Structure 1
């Protein structure tokens, strides 16, 4: 029996493997998007950006597709950087320096990672979508060198930073993990894999 194919709308092997693991042990064949694909994220929400990527990838590959978009929202910065998290600065080092400078010494450091995920059919139509939120707070200094926002985002439930979460913790507590777990039943239903 041929296993159904699911394309993850990303050319990053690490992210593809991460989402595949978060979906759970499903009898499907997971592919990453074509290396030369680059969908411009012009949406105004995580959902809109995820849908742009999902629709384009599904049509290009003629396969079922999952796409996501994520960002960091800081309460003291009125939800910034939000959907602009990836474009907040040129490098990881600059991103950390910029956000820590903007926060200064304020004790009000609550924040959240937000993710939106979509499932599109091979024609590029939206079939289902989900979202996940991981609540935390920002440290005044990175917990480890050469990190990005994950190195200063403290997850109280796990007693470590987001970047230090294990694969199991990412699936359970991470924003992308929560979104993937919420989407998995719809994927099972569409692929007729429900028991």
Structure 2
């Protein structure tokens, strides 16, 4: 039996991405109502993911899923972190600001982090998973794919930036892919017990 899962986003691209991760489950995803806005006031990715899932579940009376993710740069003490999307007005501005702040810093280590949370219809968080992808920040963008910081986030084990990877490769190594890989067994367990 198919069950409805409201995605705490108005972004159809994110819905498609989540649907791909959950393709082999009995969950059907739908976007949250556009008028329903949840402010990300948490100081961690987990806090923001849980906040969004809880608010959307309570407002719609359905199961809800939310994620929060961002880039943490070692030499900048984890910045931009939860402010990754708000680090500039465009992807180019965000990348430019980050490269400018790193300057000629030798330590280019960084990680993308993603936390996914699922709330029951009453807003209770029932599942949560985290995925981390370690990499390095390049001195200049490389590749035409992806979005956000993808052109400057280099994964040494693949010798590619996120922007150079095929969707399949990115899914296998990315923070979001790892978070969903951790979430799926829990979700299957939940489906069986519900």
Category of TM-score, reference length = shorter chain = over 0.9
1:181 aligns with 2:181: yes
CA distance in 2, matches of 1:141, 1:167: 22
Task: Provide the rounded CA distance (Å) in 2 between the counterparts of 1:172 and 1:131.
Answer: 15
Go from structure 1 to structure 2 and tell me whether the alpha carbon gap of 1:37 and 1:123 turns closer, same or farther (over 3 Å shift): same
Moved over 6 A (4+): none
How far did residue 24 of structure 1 move? 4.1
Where does the alignment leave 5 or more consecutive residues of structure 1 unmatched? none
Q: Give 1:21 shift.
A: 1.2
SS of corresponding position for 2:192? coil
> Which residue number corresponds to residue 123 of structure 1?
122
Deviation by residue 1:71-108 (Cα, 9 ceiling, x = unmatched): 10001111101111111112212111111111112221
**Is 1:15 matched up with 2:3?**
no
Q: How many residues align?
A: 193
Please tell me whether residue 79 in structure 1 is matched to residue 112 in structure 2.
no
Higher relative contact order (CA 8 A, sep 6+): 1
Q: Shift of residue 125 of structure 1?
A: 0.3
Per-residue deviation, 1:167: 2.7
Taking the aligned partners of 1:29 and 1:145, their CA distance within structure 2 comes to 31
The 5 A counterparts of 1:35-74 are 35-74=34-73
Equivalent residues of 2:151, 2:162 under 8 A apart: yes
Answer whether contact 1:50 1:117 (CA < 8 A) is retained. yes
Q: Distance in 2 between matches of 1:9 and 1:61?
A: 11
For normalisation by structure 1, the TM-score amounts to: 0.92
Aligned equivalents of 1:127 and 1:53: distance in 2?
13
Cα root mean square deviation, aligned: 1.8
Task: Check whether the contact 2:95–2:149 (CA below 8 A) recurs between aligned residues.
Answer: yes
Cα distance in 1 between the residues matched to 2:23 and 2:184: 8
TM superposition score normalised by structure 2: 0.92
Contact 1:73 1:112 in 2 (8 A): yes
Partner Cα distance (1:7, 1:135) in 2: 30
2:172 equivalent in structure 1: 172
